Amino acid sequence: MSCMLFSTSGPALRLELNNCACWLNCGLHTAWMFTLSNVSEVSVNKYNTNVVVVVLVRCFAALHPIHSVRRSLSWHALLTLVRTLIVSKVDYCNSVLAGTPGQLQDQLQSVLNAAARLVYSARRSECITPLLRELHWLRVLEQVTFQLCVLAYRCLHGTAPTYLAESLHRTSDVDIRGRLRSADSPMLVVPSTRRSTLSDRAFPVALARAWNSLPSSVRNALSLTTFRRELKTFPVVV
């Protein structure tokens, strides 16, 4: 089993124990990537639930004081405050939420919904989709896939850490695929998995599937800025 610790206060720590890799989840200041072999799915889901609960508690705790002073703030000041104290916590390292149960993602989505309604002083009965679109906020599942695709682009263009890029393989680099049409486009090999509920969350599996789901016009973007702009207009949910 291998373990990788991402931290905002220092470099990543990686312990090599075997050759398989799987993402687990992240907290507010650290994110773990595990290679799982003998860890039960129950343990992983329990950890996921605990992390999401922490994010929910902190976000809703920040929403209450913002709600109490919102009439004293300009709209732009209120939006900046919400983005800083709420949205940033939901978005932080959320790419490791790929493959988590939909119930956990729905709980995080409830935070964004509450924040959007606060910004526009909307009622709970109002449809949330127009508000999110007006704020240019992606839903949690869309944001997770968006971050995965951005990380894949960086890995393929040499701007991501080497230990991440080395876990991905282009279809053009595999001999057996040399004569396939897909080898002519920047697509990734999706490693085979045995357990769809757990192994599909592995870093190379989740990234490759998200990347391959994009049209070639998006994958072939000449710069990261262009790629992010094109990706925002594409339905990135996979």
Whether residue 130 sits in one domain with residue 153: no
- Give residue 31's pLDDT: 38
Whether residue 57 sits in one domain with residue 127: yes
Whether residue 123 sits in one domain with residue 154: no
- Give residue 48's pLDDT: 65
Instruction: Domain count for the chain, please give it.
Output: 2
Residue ending a domain, choose from 137, 163, 178: 137
Query: Does a structural domain hold residue 127?
Result: yes
- Give residue 233's pLDDT: 78
Q: Which residues of the chain have pLDDT under 70?
A: 1-48, 174-185, 195-200, 235-238
Query: Does a structural domain hold residue 16?
Result: no
3-state secondary structure the chain: CCEEEEECCEEEEEECCCCCCEEEEECCCEEEEECCCCCCHHHHHHHHHHHHHHHHHHHHHHHHHHHHHHHHCCHHHHHHHHHHHHHHHHHCCHHHHCCCCHHHHHHHHHHHHHHHHHHHCCCCCCCCHHHHHHHCCCCHHHHHHHHHHHHHHHHHCCCCCHHHHCCCCEHHHCHHHCCCHHHHCCCECCCCCCCCCCHHHCHHHHHHHHHHCCCHHHHCCCCHHHHHHHHHCCCCCC
Residue ending a domain, choose from 137, 159, 188: 137
Whether residue 133 sits in one domain with residue 45: yes
Whether residue 102 sits in one domain with residue 62: yes
Whether residue 170 sits in one domain with residue 207: yes
Q: How far apart are CA 177 and CA 47, in angstroms?
A: 38
Residue ending a domain, choose from 83, 105, 137: 137
Whether residue 120 sits in one domain with residue 79: yes
Query: Does a structural domain hold residue 28?
Result: no
- 10 Å CB burial of residue 134 (0-12, 13-18, 19+) is exposed
Query: Does a structural domain hold residue 122?
Result: yes
Query: Does a structural domain hold residue 190?
Result: yes
Query: Does a structural domain hold residue 29?
Result: no
Whether residue 119 sits in one domain with residue 49: yes
Q: Which domain holds residue 105?
A: 40-137
Query: Does a structural domain hold residue 199?
Result: yes
Whether residue 111 sits in one domain with residue 64: yes
Query: Does a structural domain hold residue 32?
Result: no
Give tens-digit pLDDT for 92-139.
878 777 777 788 889 999 999 999 999 999 998 899 999 999 999 999
Whether residue 172 sits in one domain with residue 100: no
- Give residue 180's pLDDT: 56
Average pLDDT of the chain? 76
Q: What is the dihedral of CA 64, 68, 69, 71, to 10 degrees?
A: 130
Whether residue 131 sits in one domain with residue 44: yes
Q: How far apart are CA 107 and CA 95, in angstroms?
A: 16
